[in-house]
Structure 1
Amino acid sequence: MLTALVSAKSDGVTTSATAMALASSRPVLLAELDLSGGTLRHGLLRHAPSGEGRVLDGRIGLHRLPRADWARGESESLAPAVDENLWPLDGSDSRVVLPGLTSPAQAPSLAHTWPELINVMQLSDQQHGFDVLADCGRLVVDRGRLHAELNPVQVLQQADVVLLVVRTTEASVALAHPAVQVLRQELTAGDDAALGLLVIEDGTYPAQEVADALGVALRAVLPFEPREADYVTAGGHPPRGFIRSKLMRAARSYGDQVREHAHRRRLHIRMGAAQAMSPQVASVAQRVAAQRGAGVRSHG
């Protein structure tokens, strides 16, 4: 499963993605793809030793991949370079992070690297059983379209699910309205199942009311817990009972639900593609549709 998280403003994308990664019972690859720059290396990851004597510095992260992509042969994969730039999210071997850019100026260099990086992320899911969570940060819109260099547009387009992170405040909901329109125009191609909401309960409106107002399916609801959220982003010593906190329980439960939705959507797409590739199936479908239409007319 490849799930991308974005927001119209700085509304808790990194906190939400990291909480879902920490709470997951499955192997997870968290990719910090916010092109304004990554923040985990300055927070939570400072307290996550690699166990190999390595130090998380500027020589590790997303910004190292364009050069590796340029240097690799045509028959070689980018996977080894990605693996070299992963960092443990916690003390386990099953949760890893691709730390983000160290400067927004590095974003344009990724233009030709996205297809191969997406392929590596998809293979991590399909062949190695990793859930992939992509922290895509704040959307940058230019004249009604996603800015091609300042958003990981291709990741959003290839994701099984795109979660727009919204807080239950009037300001957050107001800013989310145009973001929904842009995402629907550029990402889903009429398939609303790709787009969903992750709502953070940090305001006066009920989560379902926010979803109804935006016209987007509610996929996840996370409680606003300042202590736990601060640890997820800044690191340090976890609050007492962190693993059993409301935030982590919700992140685990809704993460499972998002995964199930992504699985169903992927199967639906595959079935549609298989039908489109088979003239026999397409012919049968056309005949059935014609018969149904004739039946409706005869009863009219």
Structure 2
Amino acid sequence: MSTAQLVWFITGASQGFGRRLVQAALSRGDKQAAAHHDVLAVLALDVTSERQVIRNVVDEAVGIWGRIDVLVNNAGYGYPGLVEEGGTDWIRLQFETNFFGLMEVTNAVLPHMRSKRKGTLVNMGSRSAWKPEVPFIGPYSASKAAVHAITETLSVELAQFGIRVLLIEPGGFLTEGAYCYPPFNNSDKMIPDYDEMRTQATSGFATIRKGIRGDPDKAMSAIVDVVRGEGVAQGREWPGYLILGEDVETDINRKMKKIASVLDTWSDVTRGVNLEA
């Protein structure tokens, strides 16, 4: 169990997971560099800002309490769109916030952690990286899949500096703006061939909140437990991944079985492309 007071830097803390994570960490006696009070500093930050702007905000945060112990890259959003209709412009828009913004903040914080040879990096992934086979979530799923991949690489690269890395993989949770998607009729590039799919998707997304069972307060409390090594994490090894929600557990198991089935069925092709001895 960690009894030390940790300094957290949490992006996207105004609502949703971020706001609840701030509350969960503060309840354990930690501090937030996220009105400047004794334990909370709220700093304005758009993760799509210029690199130097982001670094200035991070440096300001470090100047408040002298360090950042935990960085949580939580800021992100999902805006639905068909891959062909939205094109690369739509994909770039999702990546600017969900991936490149995350990386700019990470790269601004890492020098401070490396200098102290310790720290914790927490990246917010998504079940959509495991279940992208859903119309209209392609750009979002792709951005989160990129987050998953880069987080796994960082876990290896940063271990030598005593920096732990944790990938959060949440399912569906009832936060304020979750799954409150706009209508799919606001594109000036609508393709009639997709009209039937668009109608079905609109109906499906309109009712999706009714089936969500995830409690965001419990999820954020679990993250704090893991980072601090207490509560549900007491006596356990660092997991590297934290999968939150029965729905994402189902999605991951389904994808693993699907890939395992292909490996088994096509093993002759998989193994039949080596150079001849």
User: How does the TM-score come out when normalised to structure 2?
Assistant: 0.36
Q: Which has the higher contact order (CA 8 A, sep 6+)?
A: 1
